[in-house]
Structure 1
Amino acid sequence: MKRKPLRLDEYGIESLLVRAQKWLYNYEPQRVWYPQELYGKSLSAGDFVESFKDACESNRNSFIQELQNNNNMYAIWTESRPYSKLWDLKYIGQRHSTGIKDRLRNHLFGAPFGEGKKPKSKFKNIIDSLNSGKMIYVSYVQVSPESLRTFIEHSLICINKKRAKLCGTVMVLKILTEIYKSYKPQV
């Protein structure tokens, strides 16, 4: 499904944050396919390099190849009971200059395979989730202007840290209001 980018509009940055949160959380995420041998086992990435490579190149994961690099934010989810549609948010991220496809491949498959060596890769967490028998899902969205993607990412992370003392929704909305007041769109 081709999605329209979420743009800064006349309602301001607060509206953009709310819409980004809806796109990432309220729509069914895309399941990432892995070979059955990777679920519920005690494995290390090096033992199953070929399985991760097969998963990355599988037609079942073609959605990653079909992603447009203009999608600039993503969320990684797990599902403890298969097909329960009860997803647990594990990570919110944003793509950098290399594009969303490369970033997701690194997180999900350890590309280059079995390594996951790029900074802040969640590949180790993916392996732990697979060892626990959990299914992996991804959702993604495009935030525009591009310069706001980091701010939106950090705001969503703060909103979702329930135990964080300094980073509650009220604080984020105050920050958003101040930024909105000082924001002057470029024409």
Structure 2
Amino acid sequence: MYKDIDELNEQFLKDIDGRGGVYAIFSAKPKQEWELKYIGQVKSSGVRQRIRSHLVWRNKNTESGNSTGSKFDEVMAEITNGHDIAFAFVEVKPQSLRHYVEEILITKCQPLWNYNGTTLNGQRSSRSRRCL
């Protein structure tokens, strides 16, 4: 499955490989406006794997007791309902600021899938999901 995802997203994965930063997941029905669904951060050593995780792995608890945070189920539900999925990525330098940038964007934009977000536990809002 990784091979298919790599082929479909070859240029995007190549462009972000080895770069730490903040990424966003968007959803839209064909010919409709994109809606921000999720904001996440990733260190440079795991960026390709992290993007893949949202496309091929269900969220689960790891040996360390932490959750993978995968949005696989949410992505699949959107696709099943006829939506397209898009990713955006912004490199953050120095990388140590990526958590800060992520938190600011989650606070400002309140994406629907960040209800268990970095510091926004239980966050839900009826506000528009367009912030950028």
Higher relative contact order (CA 8 A, sep 6+): 1
Number of the residue aligned with 1:106:
53
Aligned-residue offset at 1:64: 3.9
After superposition, residues 45-84 of structure 1 pair within 5 angstroms as 52-53=1-2, 55-58=4-7, 60-66=8-14, 67-80=16-29, 82-84=30-32
Aligned-residue offset at 1:97: 6.1
Number of the residue aligned with 1:132:
81
Moved over 2 A (4+): 52-55, 115-118, 161-164
Tell me the secondary structure at the aligned position of residue 99 of structure 1: helix
- Equivalent pairs counted in the alignment come to 106
Aligned-residue offset at 1:57: 3.5
Cα 1:79/1:72, change in 2 over 3 Å: same
Cα 1:100/1:135, change in 2 over 3 Å: same
Percent identity between the two aligned chains? 31
Q: Whose Rg is larger?
A: 1
Q: Which runs of 5+ in 1 are unaligned?
A: 1-51, 165-187
In the superposition, the TM-score normalised over structure 1's length comes to 0.50
Cα 1:106/1:71, change in 2 over 3 Å: same
In the superposition, the TM-score normalised over structure 2's length comes to 0.69
